[in-house]
Amino acid sequence: QLQEQIHITDVAPRDGLQNQAIHLATADKLRLIELLVDAGVASIEAASFVSPKAVPQMADAAELLPQVQSRFPALRTSVLVPNLKGLERAHAAGAREIAVVLSASETMNRKNINMGLDQACEVSEQTLAAARALGLRTRAYVAVAFDCPFEGATPLDAVLRLAARMHAAAADEIVIADTIGSAAPGQVKQRLGALRGVVPVERLAVHFHDTRGMGVANAWAALEAGVRRFDASVGGIGGCPFAPGAAGNVATEDLVLMAELSGFATGISLPGLVAAVDFAQDRLQRPLGGRAITWLRRP
């Protein structure tokens, strides 16, 4: 029986590592990425080109990216850039794919990238246009697409407006992000249904944090809404340093397990992911793993 494929981008090297007390060495980041590739992961977010003062964990992006791309030429490798300066640095390091990050509330944009909503929108559009002119593939995050840690519930209208603008700016992928992990499946279904009215569903991706244990349920709601592109983080590591209360991303191993048991193909091996979780756990010196990790590690 032919199974439908879903596409998973593992964001552990960026979202997962940007908030860790232990700053991973470049060689360890490369090893983590190698383990993900060995597990069959075809797409990752490797780093961010942001201010090293804001996020010191990502200060080695310009050293890491060329090594990743030369060692794993077939791997889709994206990097987060918040502005034109980030794009310039990423391009100089040989980036082939970038992601801009826009939040659907005024305060979250200010806390995250020190711009108001209007300016963040304009900067994202300029960055997308410049990236396209350089021939790069592009993603656009719409963060706090459900709730903002500072302003509370995000109006659906705001999310639709930003997604439409990012689509008009020709972002290849528009990533609907539950930054603080507060979404529930019914709401995911409703919002993605509405988003399908402004962005072709093939261009929509979802990025769930798993703060309240609903990451996998939300991913299922997104699957039912027709979305086939997912962000996840091996071991469930992650969280935005500027969004208080956010836990890690939905764990890649949980997402893969759910999808495969539900008849979707991911191309990713669960034992391979467990090896990556074990490595990350050893280097970050704390227990890691999604909700299924104990079962996945069973002898």
Judged by CB under 6 A, the chain residues 109 through 128 that form the site for ligand HMG are 112-114
Q: How far is the CB of 130 from ligand HMG (least distance, A)?
A: 13
Contact of residue 203 among Mg ion, ligand HMG, none (CB under 5-8 Å per partner type): none
Residue 105 is classified by DSSP as: S
Residue with smaller CB distance to ligand HMG, 167 or 278: 167
296 contact partners, CB below 8 Å, separation of at least 6? 253, 257, 270, 271, 273, 274, 289
Q: How far is the CB of 239 from ligand HMG (least distance, A)?
A: 8
Judged by CB under 6 A, the stretch of 47-55, 215-223, 267-275, 290-298 that binds ligand HMG is: 47-55
Residues 21-60 as b or e (16 or more Cβ within 10 Å = b): eeebeeebbbbbbbbbbebebbbbbbbbbbbeeebebbbb
Q: 3-state secondary structure string, 33-97? A: HHHHHHHCCCEEEEEECCCCCCCHHHCCHHHHHHHHHHHCCCCEEEEECCCHHHHHHHHHCCCCE
Within 10 angstroms of residue 171's Cβ, the number of other Cβ atoms is: 27
Contact of residue 101 among ligand HMG, Mg ion, none (CB under 5-8 Å per partner type): ligand HMG
- CB-neighbour burial class of residue 107 (10 A; exposed 0-12, middle 13-18, buried 19+): middle
Residue with smaller CB distance to ligand HMG, 22 or 265: 22
Rounded distance between C-alpha atoms, residue 60 and residue 196, angstroms = 37
240 labelled catalytic: yes
Q: Cα 213 to the chain's mean position, in Å?
A: 18
- Residue from the set 10, 20, 37, 86 that interacts with ligand HMG by CB under 6 A: 86
Q: How far is the CB of 150 from ligand HMG (least distance, A)?
A: 13
H-type helices in the chain, by residue range? Answer: 26-39, 61-71, 84-92, 106-113, 117-133, 156-168, 185-195, 215-224, 252-261, 270-284, 293-296
Catalytic one among 46, 225, 240, 292?
Answer: 240
Rounded distance between C-alpha atoms, residue 198 and residue 205, angstroms = 14
Q: How far is the CB of 82 from ligand HMG (least distance, A)?
A: 4
Judged by CB under 5 A, the stretch of 10-18, 68-76, 251-259, 286-294 that binds Mg ion is: 10-18
Instruction: Let me know: does 97 contact 137? Beta carbons within 8 Å.
Output: yes
- Residue from the set 8, 93, 105, 141 that interacts with ligand HMG by CB under 6 A: 141
- Residue from the set 31, 76, 89, 96 that interacts with ligand HMG by CB under 6 A: 89
Judged by CB under 6 A, the chain residues 211 through 270 that form the site for ligand HMG are 240, 242
- Residue from the set 10, 15, 60, 97 that interacts with Mg ion by CB under 5 A: 15
Interface size with ligand HMG, residues (CB under 6 A): 26
Residue with smaller CB distance to ligand HMG, 106 or 278: 106
Residue 146 interacts with ligand HMG (CB under 6 A): yes or no: no
Chain residues that interact with Mg ion, rule: CB under 5 A: 15
Chain residues that interact with ligand HMG, rule: CB under 6 A: 15, 18, 48-51, 54-55, 80, 82-83, 85-86, 89, 101, 112-114, 141, 143, 177, 179, 207, 209, 240, 242
Residues noted as catalytic:
240
